[in-house]
Chain A
Amino acid sequence: MIEVKDVYFTYPNGIGALKGVSITIQNGDFVAIMGQNGAGKTTLVKHFNGLLKPTKGKVLVDGVNTRDISVARLARKVGFVFQNPDHQLFCETVEDETSFALKNFGYKPNIIERRVTWALNLLSLTQYRKTSPFMLSGGERKRVALASVLASDPKIVILDEPTIGQDHQQKEKLRQFITQLRAQKKTVVIVTHDVEFVAECNPRVVLMTEGKIVADGRANKILTNYNLVTKASLVPPQVTQIFMKLSDLGLPTNVIDVYEARKVFLNSLEGS
Chain B
Amino acid sequence: MSVFDGLKFRKVSSPVHNLDPRVKFFFVCVLFVVAVMFFQLLPLLVLFFVPIPFVLVARVKREWIRSLKGASMLAFIIFFFNFIFNYIYNEYPNIPSASLIEYSVAMTLRFVVLVETFSVFFLTTSPDLLGLALEQSHVPYEFCFAFTTAVRFVPVLADEAQTIMDAQKSRGLELERGNFLKRIKNYIPILIPLIVSAIRRSLELAEAMESRAWGATEKRTNLYVLRLGKTDYALAFTSIFMLVVAILVWRFVPIPPLSVILSFLQL
Contacts and interface: CB of A to CB of B under 8 A. Distances in A.
Interface of A: 12-13, 46, 49, 51, 70-72, 75-76, 78-80, 82, 84, 86-90, 100-101, 104-105, 134, 148-149, 152
23 contacts: A51-B166, A51-B169, A70-B174, A71-B169, A71-B170, A72-B174, A75-B170, A78-B170, A80-B167, A80-B170, A84-B163, A86-B193, A87-B163, A87-B193, A88-B171, A90-B189, A90-B192, A90-B196, A100-B172, A100-B189, A105-B172, A149-B170, A152-B172
Contacts, number: 69
Contacts of B189: 88, 90, 100
B188 interface: yes
Given A72-B169, A86-B200, 10 more contacts: A51-B169, A72-B173, A75-B170, A78-B170, A82-B166, A82-B167, A86-B197, A88-B164, A100-B171, A104-B172
B170 A79 contact: yes
A149 B171 contact: yes
A101 B172 contact: yes
A54 B258 CA distance: 46
Contacts of B171: 75, 88, 100-101, 104, 148-149
B232 interface: no
Interface in B161-213: 163-164, 166-174, 188-189, 192-193, 196-197, 200
B201 to A, nearest CB: 10
Given A12-B66, A51-B166, A89 B172 contact: no
B166 A46 contact: yes
B115 to A, nearest CB: 18
Interface of B: 2, 5, 66, 160, 163-164, 166-174, 188-189, 192-193, 196-197, 200
A149 B200 CA distance: 24
B168 to A, nearest CB: 6
B188 A90 contact: yes
Nearest to A151: B171
A12 B188 CA distance: 26
A214 B99 CA distance: 64
A93 to B, nearest CB: 13
Contacts of A148: 171
9 pairs of A and B residues whose beta carbons are closest in the complex: A104-B172, A90-B192, A80-B170, A88-B167, A101-B171, A82-B167, A71-B169, A75-B172, A72-B174
Contacts of A79: 170
A101 B193 CA distance: 16
A128 to B, nearest CB: 18
A70 B66 CA distance: 24
Contacts of A51: 166, 169-170
Nearest to A92: B192
A145 to B, nearest CB: 8
